[in-house]
């Protein structure tokens, strides 16, 4: 390309092709930066999907989990590792539920299968007891006070497999706070 054409292109704001020797270092630098951002992102966050047909958290299927956010707040969504929940889930299955009960809270599952936390009604239903577990709903009725580092997790659906069936989760099993994306 002649210098006169280059000057005209420059004045018009038109970029001309660069030689590979100039392009490759820039492309490499961009790729390194993108790689480092990806490593940082994956060390802090998880993006997870809910493949279930019947959702225990209706309305969303994809979530962002912040593994570094270990703040605990009632009513917020968290990912945790399950206990051995055979035959439905194996131990350390990643689960997403709402934190409903904190250490010291009184949890009661009444005969009408309504859950009460410190006397306040929360979610209801134990429909999985007979259908999935082969047990009576009354097997899950009772009261408990959460101990130190124990938390109670519930889904919003009556068909959610949650603390109503398997009790509390210890703090060391909490992966991080989750945020519904879509």
pLDDT of residue 152: 98
pLDDT of residue 43: 93
pLDDT of residue 66: 97
d(CA 32, CA 34): 5
DSSP state of 19: P
pLDDT of residue 88: 84
pLDDT of residue 178: 96
pLDDT of residue 123: 92
DSSP conformation letters of 162-182: SHHHH--EEGGGEEEEEEE--
What parts of the chain have a pLDDT lower than 70? 1-10, 13-16
d(CA 88, CA 171): 22
């Amino acid at each position: 390309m002649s210098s006169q054409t280059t000057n005209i292109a420059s004045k018009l704001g038109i970029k001309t092709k660069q030689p590979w020797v100039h392009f490759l270092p820039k492309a490499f630098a961009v790729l390194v930066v993108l790689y480092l951002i990806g490593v940082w992102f994956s060390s802090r966050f998880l993006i997870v999907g809910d493949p279930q047909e019947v959702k225990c958290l209706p309305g969303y299927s994809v979530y962002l989990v912040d593994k570094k956010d270990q703040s605990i707040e009632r009513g917020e969504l968290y990912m945790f590792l399950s206990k051995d929940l055979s035959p439905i889930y194996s131990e350390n299955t990643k689960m997403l539920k709402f934190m409903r009960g904190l250490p010291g809270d009184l949890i009661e599952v009444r005969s009408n299968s309504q859950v009460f936390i410190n006397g306040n009604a929360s979610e209801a239903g134990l429909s999985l007891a007979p259908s999935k577990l082969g047990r009576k709903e009354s097997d899950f009725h009772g009261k408990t006070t959460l101990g130190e580092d124990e938390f109670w997790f519930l889904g919003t659906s009556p068909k959610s497999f949650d603390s109503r069936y398997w009790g509390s989760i210890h703090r060391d099993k909490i992966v991080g706070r989750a945020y519904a994306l879509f």
